[in-house]
Amino acid sequence: MSKTIELAQHLEKLHINNMYKSDFYWTWDKTDEELDAIFTVADALRDLRERNKSTRIFDSGLGISIFRDNSTRTRFSFASACNLLGLAVQDLDEKKSQIAHGETVRETANMVSFMADVIGIRDDMFIGEGHKYQKTFMDAVKEGYRDGILEQQPTLVNLQCDVDHPTQCMADMLHIIHQFGGVENLKGKKIAMTWAYSPSYGKPLSVPQGVIGLMTRFGMDVVLAHPEGYDVMPEVEEIARKNAQATGGSYRKVATMEEAFDGADIVYPKSWAPFAAMEERTKLYQAGDQAGIDALEQRLLAQNAQHKDWTCSEEMMKRTRDGKALYLHCLPADITGLSCPEGEVDNSVFDRYLVPLYKEASYKPYVIAAMIMMSKVKDPAAALMALDGGDKRKFF
């Protein structure tokens, strides 16, 4: 029996009917079994790919990507996921579209969705705006489908908003699951999600928020650490607390990187902007106050510079469990002595974890493909079994 068949048999036991024809906004909207299904399908698709089996569940169709912020890994992961399933991909460049001439979100949503099966959107730079844009876009698509404008209703995959980065955090989690030999081995493991110094400004909060919102679902000891003033959204912290209570894990905040790293099994040192400052930035953006935005940037860069000791150094790593904690990062990292004079992580630490970091990133295309498949296929277990018994990928 192949690994794919074993995974498909596990999938059959899960209650996942609500995922069909649904969107994926953030992880805490999904049940434990629905998250399990994403991980299961991702692993099955990877197994099929590694055995050179065709994974095309579409013989035509379109995946549309809309990146309102820069991206390398997520952009290519989305393209890879769509291609893996048989979809072509078109990236909407707003500077080359009629959006630049005032086209509304509602109009854009319908005009690009005529033959689309999935829409991936990244909009992460402005608090209160990213999720709002995604929701507005998809509400317009649903209205277009109801009114008979669209022949089918595309599904959304959140490729990062101001609140959550579900494809990244799900890929991180799947990497952790494999590194520790299964979900059953994660209870009691300590993960340190810590702020780290960066010489740049305005990094989104969605990764740390996504991490504490997801990792607390697995009975882990989740610790958030940041300097004073670098708070994340309080409503996401409340989700983390409730998750921890429900799973027998814990969620707590500490004031130093040292305390977070002490005895940690997993560390995730990454810079982000203060929640209050990002709220201020959004108001300045809405007012068209570029001078105010520039002044805020200088203030935040100076604030960051007061915390250069918040870095993942060799000495800091020695504080972790046996000095060998699993180091995670969504990439790209600010690497001291390589990409910048002082940054989030020492070059020697980053270089030592380069292979596992790349493996961490490699799960994202399969996670995205699993999100698409669970939304578009009514019986994903049967589909996986059919793919397992189907053709090899063709090379001519």
Answer yes or no: CATH 3.40.50.1370 is held by domain 167-360.
Answer: yes
Neighbours of 170 (CB within 10 A): 26
Q: What does the buried/exposed string (b/e) look like for 277-297 if buried means 16 or more CB atoms within 10 Å of the residue's CB?
A: bbebbbebbeeeeeeeeeebb
> Is there a common fold for 3-164+364-388 and 167-360?
yes
Q: What is the pLDDT of residues 102-159, one digit of tens each?
A: 778 899 999 999 999 999 999 998 899 999 999 999 999 999 999 999 999 999 999 9
Q: In whole angstroms, what is the distance from residue 34 CA to residue 37 CA?
A: 5
Instruction: Specify the pLDDT at position 125.
Output: 86
The overall average pLDDT reported for the chain is 95
Instruction: Specify the pLDDT at position 356.
Output: 97
Which range is least confidently modeled, 102-111, 334-343, 385-394? 102-111
**In the chain, domain spans:** 3-164+364-388, 167-360
Question: Residue 368 pLDDT more than 90?
Answer: yes
Q: Which of the 8 DSSP states describes residue 324?
A: -
Confidence of residue 93 (pLDDT cuts 50, 70, 90): confident
% of the chain surpassing 90 pLDDT: 91
Q: In whole angstroms, what is the distance from residue 375 CA to residue 115 CA?
A: 16
Which range is least confidently modeled, 160-164, 200-204, 268-272, 342-346? 200-204
Strands (E), the chain: 62-67, 88-91, 116-123, 155-161, 190-194, 221-225, 250-254, 266-269, 326-327, 335-336, 345-346
Which superfamily is assigned to 3-164+364-388 in CATH? Aspartate/ornithine carbamoyltransferase (3.40.50.1370)
Q: What is the pLDDT of residues 7-29, one digit of tens each?
A: 999 999 999 989 999 999 999 99
Neighbours of 391 (CB within 10 A): 10
Q: What is the pTM of this model?
A: 0.96
